[in-house]
Amino acid sequence: MKKLLTLSLLSLGVSATALAQSPYVLLGHSYTQNFNGIGAGLPDGWMVYTNAYFDTLGTPASFVTAATAWDQGAGTFGNFAAKDTFYANATAAAQNASPNRALGAKIGTANDTGTSFVFRIDNTRGLSNINFAFKLQSLDLNAARTKRWYVSYGMGSNPTSFSPIAGGYNTGNNTFSETNISVMLPGAVNNQDSNVWIRVSSFFPATGSLVYPTVGIDDVNITWTGKPPVTVTYDSTNIPCHGGLTGSITNIMAAGGAPGYTYALDSLVPNPPSFSDTTSYVGLPAGTHTIMVKDTDGTITYFPVYLTEPAASLYVGGYDFKWVTCAGGDNGWAAAYALNGTSPYQYSWDGGPYGSFKTTQDTNLALNAGVHVVHVMDTNGCVAATNITISEPDSIRTYVNWWDNSCFGDSTGEIDIDYTTGGYGSTIYDYTYVLSVTPADTGYAFYDLPSGMYTITTYDDSGCHTSLTQEITSPPQIQFSNNVTDDLGNCTGSVTVTVTGGVPNYYYDWSTGLSGNFAQTISDLCDGQTYYLMLTDDNGCVVYDTITIHGPVSVANTNAPTTVKLYPNPVSSILYVDADKAVNVQIQDLTGRVIINAENAKQISMSNLANGVYIVNILDENNKLIGTRKIVKQ
């Protein structure tokens, strides 16, 4: 401990209050003090008092650290030159320069009563036969007054009585002298746990007249038998995590015994132990470790140190208590709980930050399916981990059978639920199926569907759902074109049918004179004959057409018949009219609506007409009908 000094300015130098000194701990086998360093302050354990008496410790007094001549500083305790090697008439300069110093007092009215030099010993544990020896010096030859001194002792932290053990030693009386005093302390001071105080005191005023004496004490020597028990201080760190090797015993410092210590730790040294100056040991397990201290006499003292650890290793467990509702979701629930270690605990899920400290379990309500790693850290920083598996139902998958429309424009398509897997269900009747029509349709089979894209959404009882898209198709519309060659006489007409759409193969059924003819091309057709075609594709879809064969157009009049040819037929752009007389042409669609009127026509543009069958009326110059033909625009 640092000395606590109270400084005040006196006429002769700096002073310190004597009460500030701590008790001195006796070590080894003896103690000596020559006071040569008192220019820096009183040595440890030493104090000066006034007003001391047999039953009173007295009043703490100030001590002047500056060197003081023997005849100076009346009424103060100070730093005086020791008597050794000096003559009584040594100069003040010589005295102040001397390295050999004594703890002294210049008696005056301020300290005439109860002048006391005090040495305070911390304890005498293990000590006996304590002998106190010192030199009592009378330093001022010119001091006529006499001062008588006594040696006494007291015990305790604040003794209320002192016992004399020697006395009657005079100083002053115009003497320059030195008295060697040695006293054996009584057995009462042996092996004491508390303070022992030794005083050199003058309880009574100086006798005589004129100059007060200057007195000093020097070369104190205390001896004893036995030695103080060795004590030790240290810092220890317990093991924060069960089973760890993180304990430590550091900053080991021994006292007592015979100074000059070496150390060993029983758990880390061979037998016999090897002592060293090492004062810190780390990497220790829990348990009892014994510090061994060997003093300079070779005495070994043992100090057990128990390092603790948590009773059991930190453990973290977990359990899932709610699956993810729907495949791919994140509403699974799980809880983790910690045991052992040192509560409270912090939890981390899947590598995330640790949360706040808890003494209870930790719950996570937003987990997806899979393995989740939970770490727990206790208040000591110990960490444990566990895995928690969150399950989920399989993804819902629905499989369907479907039938497309056989013929263009039909609404006979069908989608049937075959089976469903995943979610919460085992048969198709455990699920709800919704078809994307307006209004929405539910069921297990959906009928009368026109061609198009359909979405079937499957729901299980938990509201999980999935969708699939199924297309219902139809064959393309059956379309055909007829290449008709009219009869120019002698039944030379023919028809060739070209078909697109539907589903090949095609079946041709001609009627009216050609029943039973199933060819794509029919010939030897006569003027004026009408032929009916029923076309059936491979799906059984049926379409119909009517084809009339024409010959040359003739008109009876007073002059000569009119001959008209229309070509080509079928026509795509220009219809040519070849007549031996001027004719007018009227073109109608199959509803009878007139599309084109052309007078004295030679060429008629058909480009803007839609593909299909048209009726061509041939008119004379008076707009009388002289003939009708059917043509195909393609």
CATH number at residue 377: 2.60.40.10
Asked whether residue 421 is domain-assigned, the answer is: yes
Residue-level pLDDT at 560: 41
Tokens found for residue 570: 């079928």
C-alpha to C-alpha distance for 621 and 584, rounded to whole angstroms: 7
Could you give phi then psi for residue 91, rounded to 5 degrees? -70, 160
Asked whether residue 555 is domain-assigned, the answer is: no
Residue-level pLDDT at 497: 86
Does residue 7 have a pLDDT over 50?
A: no
Asked whether residue 559 is domain-assigned, the answer is: no
Check: CB of residue 420 under 8 Å from CB of residue 431. Answer: yes
CA angle 258, 260, 264 (to 5 degrees): 105
C-alpha to C-alpha distance for 167 and 359, rounded to whole angstroms: 72
Whether 382 and 454 share a structural domain? no
Check: CB of residue 473 under 8 Å from CB of residue 449. Answer: no
Does residue 561 have a pLDDT over 60?
A: no
Does residue 23 have a pLDDT over 50?
A: yes
Percent with pLDDT over 90 in the chain: 59
Could you give phi then psi for residue 292, rounded to 5 degrees? -110, 125
Residue-level pLDDT at 425: 86
Domain count, the chain: 6
Report which of residues 126 and 9 the model is more confident about.
126
Find all residues with CB under 8 Å of 366, minimum gap 6, and list them: 330, 331, 332
Whether 434 and 451 share a structural domain? yes
C-alpha to C-alpha distance for 104 and 48, rounded to whole angstroms: 10
Q: Give the bridge partners for 138, in sequence order.
A: 177, 215
Nearest to 338 by CA among 303, 293, 386: 386
Task: Give the residue-averaged pLDDT of 19-35.
Answer: 87
C-alpha to C-alpha distance for 83 and 215, rounded to whole angstroms: 10
Nearest to 177 by CA among 136, 147, 217: 136
Asked whether residue 2 is domain-assigned, the answer is: no
Whether 625 and 515 share a structural domain? no
Residue type, 399: Y
Last residue of a domain, which of 184, 205, 226? 226
384: containing domain: 315-390
- The 10s digit of each residue's pLDDT in 605-622 is 999 999 888 888 888 888
Asked whether residue 26 is domain-assigned, the answer is: yes
Q: Give the bridge partners for 276, in sequence order.
A: 263
Query: Which range is most confident: 233-242, 267-276, 320-329?
Result: 233-242
Residue 562: pLDDT band (50, 70, 90) is: low
| CA contacts within 13 A on the Cβ side of 243 | 8
Task: Give the residue-averaged pLDDT of 405-422.
Answer: 92
CA angle 261, 266, 272 (to 5 degrees): 80
C-alpha to C-alpha distance for 161 and 407, rounded to whole angstroms: 132
Task: Give the Å distances, CA to CA, from 378 to 3, 358, 544, 570, 577.
Answer: 44, 9, 90, 96, 107
Find all residues with CB under 8 Å of 369, minimum gap 6, and list them: 323, 324, 327, 328, 329, 332, 390, 391, 392
Asked whether residue 554 is domain-assigned, the answer is: no
Find all residues with CB under 8 Å of 593, minimum gap 6, and list them: none
- The 10s digit of each residue's pLDDT in 259-295 is 899 999 987 666 667 899 999 999 999 999 999 999 9
3-state secondary structure 395-436: CCEEEEEEECCCCCCCCCEEEEEEEEECCCCCCHHHCEEEEC
Residue-level pLDDT at 556: 38
Whether 347 and 280 share a structural domain? no
CATH of the domain at 517: 2.60.40.1080
Does residue 395 have a pLDDT over 90?
A: yes
Does residue 250 have a pLDDT over 60?
A: yes
Range in 112-116, 229-233, 526-530 the model is least confident about: 526-530
Tokens found for residue 502: 């539907």
Whether 28 and 162 share a structural domain? yes
Last residue of a domain, which of 472, 504, 533? 472
Residue type, 456: I
Alpha-carbon Rg for the chain in angstroms? 66
C-alpha to C-alpha distance for 191 and 537, rounded to whole angstroms: 130
- The 10s digit of each residue's pLDDT in 29-41 is 899 999 999 999 9
Q: Give the bridge partners for 248, in sequence order.
A: 237, 282
Tokens found for residue 118: 């005090």
Residue type, 479: Q
Nearest to 431 by CA among 397, 470, 472: 397
Residue-level pLDDT at 479: 87
Does residue 16 have a pLDDT over 70?
A: no
Whether 333 and 238 share a structural domain? no
Whether 47 and 116 share a structural domain? yes
Residue-level pLDDT at 10: 32
Whose tokens are 């390092």? That residue is 307
Whether 461 and 425 share a structural domain? yes
Last residue of a domain, which of 548, 574, 604? 548
C-alpha to C-alpha distance for 311 and 277, rounded to whole angstroms: 34
Question: What is the average pLDDT value for the chain, to the nearest integer?
Answer: 87
CA angle 48, 51, 52 (to 5 degrees): 70
Whether 448 and 583 share a structural domain? no
CATH of the domain at 151: 2.60.120.200
Whether 45 and 100 share a structural domain? yes
Nearest to 432 by CA among 466, 390, 383, 393: 466
Measured from the Cβ of residue 423, the count of other Cβ atoms closer than 10 Å reads 26
CATH of the domain at 458: 2.60.40
Check: CB of residue 486 under 8 Å from CB of residue 476. Answer: no
Measured from the Cβ of residue 39, the count of other Cβ atoms closer than 10 Å reads 14
Range in 42-56, 178-192, 304-318, 602-616 the model is least confident about: 602-616
Residue-level pLDDT at 14: 43
What is residue 94's three-state secondary structure?
A: helix
- The 10s digit of each residue's pLDDT in 287-322 is 999 999 999 999 999 999 999 999 999 999 988 778
C-alpha to C-alpha distance for 568 and 549, rounded to whole angstroms: 14
Tokens found for residue 252: 């080991």
CA 565, 566, 568, 574 torsion: positive or negative? positive
Asked whether residue 529 is domain-assigned, the answer is: yes
Q: Is the pTM above the cut of 0.75? A: no
CA angle 92, 94, 96 (to 5 degrees): 65
Whether 463 and 426 share a structural domain? yes
Asked whether residue 1 is domain-assigned, the answer is: no
Tokens found for residue 255: 């006292």
Whether 368 and 438 share a structural domain? no
Task: Give the residue-averaged pLDDT of 411-440.
Answer: 91
Could you give phi then psi for residue 81, rounded to 5 degrees? -70, 140
C-alpha to C-alpha distance for 437 and 375, rounded to whole angstroms: 52
